[in-house]
Amino acid sequence: MVTGYGAVTPVGHSVDETWAAMLAGRSGIDTVDTIDVTDLGVRIGGQVRGFTPGRYMPPKVSRRADPYAQYAIAAALEACEQAGLVVDERLAPRVAVIIGSGYGPVGSIYRAANILRDKGPRAISPFTQVTTAMDSAAGEISMRLGTQGPSRAQSTACASGADAIGAGMRMISHGEADVVLVGGADACVTTVDLAGSGNARALSRRNDDPTAACRPFDVHRDGFVMSEGAAVVVLESAEVAERRGATPLAELIGYGASSDAHHWTAPHPEGRGARLAVEAALRDAGASGSDVDYVNAHGTGTQLNDATEAAVLRTVLGDRVDRIPVSSTKSMTGHMIGAAGAVELVASIQVLRTGDVPPTINCDEPIDPDINFVPHQAQHHAGIRTALSNSFGFGGHNAALVVRAV
């Protein structure tokens, strides 16, 4: 069961703020202003603006923690508050933490390298080896909340958040934990990452029109938009949730993962890996394509991904894909990399709870006119019971989650 969730995104510092922005079709993409982008070919991104670490952690933590870990801490605290989860001495050994991230604390890594170059080794903080590690977000959350179950990082590029949630689901089903705080986080709107992904021609170059840059499933799409953020959900068994008196928000019923074994940045041309992940998730859920009522698509806005994903959905869901809403919230948030799958699961749960479906903004000319990509404006659909959320990443990593209304 999902009993709580939290989010920090380019469109809001909480689930409520993020959800309201999504339904309004409000973009969080703009010209990047925290780094010098003058010489970059890509100068736009989805930044978390106005975030105040002091609301969520003491100064000694915010000084050492990379922004990706700060966002994860904030999301975890919101999730726990909603779930009414207090990690006491009795529960602590049965509470786990898993945070997925594609890039990890890259800002801290780059800063440490610059300090070493400019000031020498004596200027390097003794916390550097800890705060520049991929598991730093999970470690900070565990220490902040006092959890004593397993804590770890998960890294599978853009599928990291979804894979982490799948791993948390398995941990509960195998009896390794009663409660898992799980999600994804990334803060990779950096000079190096914008330059590298830009040189790979993966990013949109609509520098003069940032809010129109991310165009999932649109004929005129030209790449994804690098963004940052985090989301964490509280997963627990139905028995533990009932014993705690927690209110379930949704039931996570299926998870599937696969690898393309094809190319570092391009999806398999026939969508082989993506199809395997979606089919595995549906099989795990005891469901079929005809049971899916909504799809939160990976929908990055790249030429290859969107065409491949649309074809996979048509193959797996059959005619059902023409009768249900399929939207990409990345059109508003940009691509939060390791956080994307977790944020999009939260959005999928909100769809189940409200019947409101967030739009795919900028989808002016759909690549498949028979699919309802929910262009421009949110739609209300009654009777949405089962949602599919897709996450496909560089390196051929694929993950899919199936969630059901309660």
Model confidence at 267: pLDDT above 90: no
Average pLDDT, the chain: 97
pLDDT at 114: 96
Model confidence at 357: pLDDT above 90: yes
Model confidence at 139: pLDDT above 90: yes
* Closest among 59, 39, 5 to 235, alpha carbons compared: 5
Mean pLDDT of the region 285-291 = 98
172-185 pLDDT per residue, tens: 999 999 999 999 99
9-32 pLDDT per residue, tens: 999 999 999 999 999 999 999 999
pLDDT at 124: 96
pLDDT at 63: 94
The tokens for 215 are 């165009």
pLDDT at 87: 96
pLDDT at 264: 81
Confidence of residue 331 (pLDDT cuts 50, 70, 90): very high
pLDDT at 261: 87
DSSP secondary-structure letter at 244?
H
Can you tell me the distance from the alpha carbon of 172 to that of 265, in angstroms, rounded to the nearest whole number?
Answer: 33
Confidence of residue 269 (pLDDT cuts 50, 70, 90): confident
pLDDT at 266: 83
Sequence-distant (≥ 6) Cβ neighbours of residue 128 within 8 angstroms:
108, 112
pLDDT at 389: 98
152-170 pLDDT per residue, tens: 999 999 999 999 999 999 9
Q: Can you state the percent helix, strand and coil of the chain, rounding each to 5? A: 40, 20, 35
In the chain, % of residues over pLDDT 90: 96
Can you tell me the distance from the alpha carbon of 41 to that of 5, in angstroms, rounded to the nearest whole number?
Answer: 36
Model confidence at 263: pLDDT above 90: no
Mean pLDDT of the region 130-136 = 95
Q: Are strands 95-100 and 356-357 parallel, antiparallel or unpaired?
A: unpaired
201-223 pLDDT per residue, tens: 999 999 999 999 999 999 999 99
Dihedral angle sign, alpha carbons of residues 27, 30, 34, 39: positive
Catalytic residues: 158, 298, 335
Mean pLDDT of the region 311-327 = 97
Confidence of residue 132 (pLDDT cuts 50, 70, 90): very high
* Closest among 277, 293, 299 to 367, alpha carbons compared: 299
DSSP secondary-structure letter at 46?
E
pLDDT at 219: 98
* DSSP output for 278-319: HHHHHHHHT--GGG--EEE----S-HHHHHHHHHHHHHHHGG
The tokens for 180 are 């898992």
- CA distance to 100, 143, 154, 224, 269, per residue, from 138 (Å): 9, 9, 10, 27, 35
Mean pLDDT of the region 31-54 = 97
DSSP secondary-structure letter at 31?
E
52-107 pLDDT per residue, tens: 999 999 999 999 999 999 999 999 999 999 999 999 999 999 999 999 999 999 99
- Helix pair 191-199, 106-119: axis angle to 10 deg: 110
